[in-house]
Amino acid sequence: MQKEKGDGMVNAVRMNLPAYMGVRYELTNQIEDAEELLDNLHNYNQKIFKVCILIHTYGRNNAELDERVQQICNTVQQQTCRFSPIPFEQCAAMNSVLPLGKKWLALERTLLTVNTAIYVPFTTQELFQPGGLYEGTNARSKNLIMVNRKLLPAPAGMVLGMTGFGKSFAVMQMMAGIMLRWPED
């Protein structure tokens, strides 16, 4: 870009014009954007990410699929985002949506760390089963963890911790809860 700017300035001077007239306005904006990007990378500890956001939907028939696609388009457009279906690359799109860690589509957008961070979900996984026993608290949300181990495919559990951290007390509390809740077991 700097070479193109220099060539334009030289050509303008050859035609007896002021040097700045040889530089296109778009090129000036591109140079400013590139300098701002370099400043963010060097001074604000930003990184560059190539991002591809895909939304997968399905329907039992074409009418249901079209309705769902239209709902997604409307929702995305309400957030002032641009969205378009991928009509002729369904196979590559499906492979990209699968949790394999490989992107098969040639679609991507370059974003900085700050812009990419908004796509990271900050939701917590909650485990609250009706009729379950108290197992502890969720470290992130501070909500109770209530589990009915009878409903789990592998109901066994382990209590880990350092000496003096109350492992025996926790197991006794768990056993008392089981005996009170299910005396027949």
Distances in Å between the Cα of 102 and the Cα atoms of 40, 84, 92, 93, 109 are 28, 21, 10, 11, 16
Torsion sign, CA atoms 130, 132, 138, 144: positive
Looking at the predicted structure, is the pLDDT value of residue 185 above 80?
no
Split into its structural domains, the chain has a count of 3
Structural domain containing residue 11: 2-46
Same domain assignment for residues 141 and 90: no
The closest of 83, 14, 21, 15 to 53, measured between CA atoms, is 83
111 and 155 together in one domain: no
Closest CA to 120 of 67, 55, 53: 53
In-domain check, residue 127 = no
113 and 53 within one domain: yes
Which three-class secondary structure state does DSSP give residue 111?
strand
Decide if pLDDT at 47 tops 80: yes
Average pLDDT (36-44) is 88
Asked if the model's pLDDT at residue 40 lies above 80, the reply is yes
* pLDDT over 90 at 63, yes or no: yes
- CA 94/CA 105 separation, integer angstroms: 10
Collapsing DSSP to helix, strand or coil, 100 comes out as: coil
| Mean pLDDT, the chain, integer | 86
- Asked whether residue 123 carries a pLDDT value surpassing 70, the answer given is no
Listed ranges 20-24, 47-51, 96-100, 181-185; the one with the highest mean pLDDT: 47-51
Residue 59 lies in a domain: yes
Is 122 inside any structural domain? no
Of 85, 91, 94, 88, nearest to 66 (Cα)? 85
Say what the pTM is. Answer: 0.50
Q: How many CA atoms lie within 13 A of 16 on its CB side?
A: 0
**80 & 20 share domain:** no
Strands (E), 92-164: 109-112, 133-137, 144-147
Q: Is residue 98 part of a domain?
A: yes
Cα separation of 165 and 167, whole Å?
6
Most confident by average pLDDT, 3-12, 64-73, 78-87, 113-122: 64-73
pLDDT at 121: 67
Are 107 and 54 found together in one domain? yes
CA distance 50 to 113: 10
Inter-CA distances, 153 with 150, 157, 160, 178, 183, Å: 8, 12, 21, 18, 22
**Do the domain assignments include residue 84?**
yes
pLDDT at 61 over 90: yes
